[in-house]
Amino acid sequence: MTTCTAPGCSATLDRRGRNRSGLCRRHALALAAAPEVRAKAVIGFRAWVRANPEKISLHNTQASRTRMAWCPPEYREQYHHLTRVKRLTAGEARALLKDMIARDARRYSATGVLPQFQRSEEKRHALA
C-alpha cells in the first residue's frame, strides 16, 4: 500500500496503480492551484496555440457551429448584424430572430415564397 508523498500526509493512494503523481487528491489539487504552476501551464498553452493555428481555427469554427446550432445558416448574417452593428444582447437578437424565423415559416406556408431567400437575393442585387 502506498501513501501520499507530501510531508505529513498519510492518505493512502489508489491501489490500482493509476496514481502517477504520488500525491493524494487534496495535495494534487493544491499543487495544480499554485500560482507558479498555473503560470507555467498558461505559458505552455500559449506556446501550443502559436504552434497550432490550424487547430485553433478548426476549434473556433466548430465551437461557433455548436453555439449557433439554434440558428439556421441563412439567418446567421442577420444575427451578427443585430449583435455587432445594432449592439443587441445575444438573448435579444435570438428572440428577434426566432420571431422572424416563425414569421418567415408562416409566410412560406401561405405564399410558397421563402422570405429569407428573397432577402439574400435583394442583397446580392444591391451589391452588384
**What are the residues binding Zn ion (CB under 5 A)?**
4, 6, 9, 11, 24, 27
In sequence order, what are the residues at sequence separation of 6 or more whose Cβ sits closer than 8 angstroms to the Cβ of residue 92? Answer: 82
Q: What is the distance between the alpha carbons of residues 1 and 77, in angstroms, rounded to a whole number?
A: 61
CB of 3 to Zn ion, least distance (A): 8
**7 vs 112 by CB, closer to Zn ion:** 7
Q: What is the distance between the alpha carbons of residues 102 and 82, in angstroms, rounded to a whole number?
A: 17
CB of 9 to Zn ion, least distance (A): 3
CB of 30 to Zn ion, least distance (A): 9
**12 vs 57 by CB, closer to Zn ion:** 12
**3 vs 52 by CB, closer to Zn ion:** 3
Yes or no: say if 41 and 30 are a contact pair by the CB < 8 Å rule. Answer: no
